[in-house]
């Protein structure tokens, strides 16, 4: 029986993005293995391997992980290994070298966003660029999900003979193809303390330095005080130890900026929102923007890798320089005052997102898995 191995540092990555691809391999008659540092139950997985992957490149456990994974790869004799996440892919490619040469095991790596990019720190370039360039020669197929990474890889990673662009991992539309009545929308708004006439903005993302909610609050504070019928929803886990909550209280915005924590009802929240925003410093290809596009919520985003792949300025949203707080507010103000403009951007978003849907990306991936 043919065998495939998916690897990633943590279970959540596999569960969030790759279950449809595990299902594909099961349907093709493969024995499906998954290796992560976690013990979650993974759908369509025949055998789960717990490997001591660490996200940090400085952790000694990653050396142990290479040894652990090497033994599994040599024992199982996989036909295909598809690896994900930065350290997961470093460990996997180092562990697979022998079998890649001996048994022609095919190693595929999807980079969900290099740590080096335009605007990244010199330290990131010094640490991560040489590693990725070196390991590219142990990568049979390198998949990039945004144009900036793809162009860089094609130019710099000459030892990798097969470099592909795929528009993301594909978003599944099932959870968004839900009907929500006016009464249900009204009930959800009421539960969140939102009036029927309020203008709602949403930024579903982990509270973090990369997602840059601190900049967002500082940019919007004066505008929000002037427009008290605007509500900003911030669903997402807090990785900043209450820093954003403290800032909101300090600026007396508790009634307008709503920290919602981790939520499972993002589709419903999007359906009561007027616009989506992102102030991220960098992205691979942001799922939150893709989901907003599918629902038909226009976006105002900062100009960074990933965001600029999805948003065409003044076509299906607005792109704003990361340092330009004034312009960011101006674009939001345009959409706040102009429903016709929102409708125009919404229509374009729903058209553009078709390229990034799971059915489309699956076509790309099937060809890659077949070696085409």
Please check whether residues 31 and 147 belong to one and the same domain.
yes
Nearest Cα to Cα of residue 88 among 115, 118, 66, 120: 66
Please check whether residues 164 and 212 belong to one and the same domain.
no
Please check whether residues 361 and 346 belong to one and the same domain.
no
The enclosing domain of 275 has a CATH number of: 3.40.50.2000
Please report which confidence band the pLDDT of residue 101 belongs to, taking 50, 70 and 90 as the band edges: confident
- What pLDDT is attached to residue 119? 87
pLDDT tens-digit readout, 200-215: 999 999 999 999 999 9
Please check whether residues 145 and 238 belong to one and the same domain.
no
Please check whether residues 97 and 143 belong to one and the same domain.
yes
Please check whether residues 223 and 166 belong to one and the same domain.
no
Please check whether residues 164 and 219 belong to one and the same domain.
no
Please report which confidence band the pLDDT of residue 64 belongs to, taking 50, 70 and 90 as the band edges: very high
pLDDT tens-digit readout, 126-145: 999 999 999 999 999 999 99
Q: Residue 104 sits in which domain range?
A: 3-170+357-369
User: Phi and psi at residue 50, in whole multiples of 5°?
Assistant: -95, 115
Please check whether residues 216 and 141 belong to one and the same domain.
no
312: pLDDT strictly greater than 90: yes
Query: Average pLDDT of 182-211?
Result: 95
Please check whether residues 112 and 218 belong to one and the same domain.
no
Please state the domain count of the chain.
2
Please check whether residues 229 and 133 belong to one and the same domain.
no
* Structure tokens belonging to residue 337: 């005052």
Please check whether residues 200 and 281 belong to one and the same domain.
yes
Q: Which residues contact 171 (CB under 8 A, 6 or more apart)?
A: 287, 290, 291, 294, 353, 356, 357, 358
173: pLDDT strictly greater than 90: no
- What pLDDT is attached to residue 83? 98
- What pLDDT is attached to residue 61? 93
Please check whether residues 165 and 254 belong to one and the same domain.
no
């Amino acid at each position: 029986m043919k065998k495939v191995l998916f690897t990633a540092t943590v279970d959540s990555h596999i569960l969030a993005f790759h279950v449809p691809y595990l299902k594909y391999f099961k349907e093709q008659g493969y024995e499906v293995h998954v290796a992560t540092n976690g013990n979650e139950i993974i759908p369509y997985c025949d055998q789960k391997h717990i490997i001591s992957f660490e996200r940090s490149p400085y952790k000694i456990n990653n050396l142990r992980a290479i040894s652990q994974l090497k033994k599994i790869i040599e024992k199982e004799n996989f036909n295909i290994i598809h690896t994900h996440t930065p350290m997961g892919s470093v460990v996997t490619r180092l562990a697979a070298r022998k079998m890649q040469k001996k048994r022609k095991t095919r190693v595929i790596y999807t980079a969900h966003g290099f740590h080096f990019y335009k605007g990244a720190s010199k330290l990131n370039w010094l640490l991560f660029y040489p590693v990725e360039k070196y390991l590219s020669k142990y990568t049979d197929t390198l998949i990039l999900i945004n144009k900036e990474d793809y162009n860089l890889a094609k130019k710099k990673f000459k030892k990798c003979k097969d470099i592909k662009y795929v528009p993301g991992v594909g978003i599944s539309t099932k959870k968004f193809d839900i009907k929500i009545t006016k009464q249900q929308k009204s009930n959800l708004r009421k539960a969140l303390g939102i009036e029927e006439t309020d203008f709602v903005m949403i930024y579903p993302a982990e509270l973090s330095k990369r997602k840059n909610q601190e900049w967002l609050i500082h940019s919007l504070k004066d505008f929000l005080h002037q427009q008290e019928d605007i509500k900003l929803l911030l669903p997402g886990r807090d990785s900043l130890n209450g820093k954003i909550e403290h800032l909101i209280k300090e600026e007396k915005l508790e009634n307008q900026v709503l920290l919602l924590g981790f939520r499972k009802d993002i589709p419903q929240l999007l359906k009561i929102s007027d616009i989506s925003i992102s102030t991220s410093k960098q992205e691979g290809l942001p799922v939150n923007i893709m989901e907003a596009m599918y629902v038909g919520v226009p976006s105002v985003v900062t100009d960074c890798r990933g965001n600029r792949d999805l948003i065409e300025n003044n076509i299906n949203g607005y792109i704003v320089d990361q340092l330009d707080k004034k312009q960011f507010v101006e674009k939001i103000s345009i959409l706040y005052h102009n429903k016709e403009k929102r409708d125009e951007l919404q229509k374009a978003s729903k058209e553009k997102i078709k390229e990034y849907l799971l059915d489309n990306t699956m076509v790309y991936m099937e060809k890659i898995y077949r070696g085409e």
